[in-house]
Amino acid sequence: MFNLILFGPPGSGKGTQSERLIEKYGLIHLSTGNLLREEIQNQTTLGLAAKRYMDQGQLVPDEVVIGMIRSALDSNPKAKGFLFDGFPRTVAQADALDTLLKEKNTEIAAVLALTVSEKELIERLLNRGKTSGRTDDTNESIIQARIAEYENKTAAVARYYETFGKVIRVHGEGSIDDIFDLLCKEIDLKKVA
Ligand code: ADP
């Protein structure tokens, strides 16, 4: 299996690039944001509990998202590999993911970290809010809260994977095509390695 993490702050382009990467490399897309929004749409108990955190720009508790990822991994036993998007977002989630993958005799090949300036992130998210229907994208103070969660809890995930030499930083500003090409170049180097 070939597993990747697409990492970066909210608005860094993970969702956009994920769509293209899964297509090109035949990976299964696991976006905890999308999975949580599906739960909300279906008005499940999990979704209703998660919504309270999401609407405030806070992270959903670790055990909730870890459980979702565990069942997604179990329900795709024939996958060639997974692309994790928006997960792991805490060091506890990263630890849990390593354990889950080890049980399946596999691991993370690389963490592709998109770098984008804070000013650009806020602009992109407010813009997305005009059309996405996502309530967490329409209010600047909620966007600030999400960026703060990223800095306080999620940035440490990159440092965690750095100790294993797995992080590759990719400049996330420019055209979608150019960023995609940069990502593919890095992935192809990993695939032959
Ligand atoms: P973005 O990257 O634009 O913030 P996501 O769709 O990845 O968007 O996430 C939206 C919200 O869902 C987050 O602000 C958070 O509340 C929740 N969420 C998503 N993934 C996780 C996760 N791995 N751990 C905790 N909360 C999460």
- For residue 156, is it within any domain? yes
CA of 102 to the centre of ligand 1 (A): 24
CA of 67 to the centre of ligand 1 (A): 15
CA of 192 to the centre of ligand 1 (A): 32
Locate 8 and state its tokens: 């970066």
Q: Say whether pLDDT at 192 is over 80.
A: no
Q: Is 96 in the pocket of ligand 1 (CB under 6 A)?
A: no
- For residue 57, is it within any domain? yes
| Averaged pLDDT for residues 49-61 | 97
- For residue 13, is it within any domain? yes
Domains in the chain, number: 1
- For residue 150, is it within any domain? yes
Which has the closest alpha carbon to 27: 42, 5, 11, 47? 5
Which has the closest alpha carbon to 3: 141, 107, 153, 126? 107
Mark whether 128 is an active-site residue: yes
Q: Are strands 3-7 and 82-85 parallel, antiparallel or unpaired?
A: parallel
| Averaged pLDDT for residues 46-55 | 96
Q: Say whether pLDDT at 35 is over 90.
A: yes
- For residue 67, is it within any domain? yes
**Residue 191: band (very low, low, confident or very high) from pLDDT cuts 50, 70, 90:** confident
Q: Say whether pLDDT at 96 is over 70.
A: yes
**Residue 193: band (very low, low, confident or very high) from pLDDT cuts 50, 70, 90:** low
Q: How far is residue 45's CA from residue 78's CA, in Å, rounded to a whole number?
A: 29
- For residue 193, is it within any domain? no
Average pLDDT, the chain: 96
Q: Is the peptide bond before 88 cis (omega within 30 degrees of 0)?
A: yes
Residue 60 burial (C-beta neighbours within 10 Å; 0-12, 13-18, 19+): buried
pLDDT digits (tens, 9 = 90+) for 104-141: 999 999 999 999 999 999 999 999 999 988 989 999 99
Locate 70 and state its tokens: 């565990």
pTM of the model: 0.95
The H or E element containing residue 149 is: helix 140-149
- For residue 75, is it within any domain? yes
What percent of the chain has a predicted confidence (pLDDT) above 90?
96
Give me the CATH number covering residue 99.
3.40.50.300
Q: What is the pLDDT of residue 110?
A: 98
Q: Is 9 in the pocket of ligand 1 (CB under 6 A)?
A: no
Q: What is the pLDDT of residue 189?
A: 95
Mark whether 146 is an active-site residue: yes
The residues, ordered by sequence, that sit 6+ positions from 140 with a Cβ below 8 Å of its Cβ are 122, 126
- For residue 54, is it within any domain? yes
Helix (H, G, I), strand (E, B) or coil at 175: coil
Domain containing 102 equals 3-188
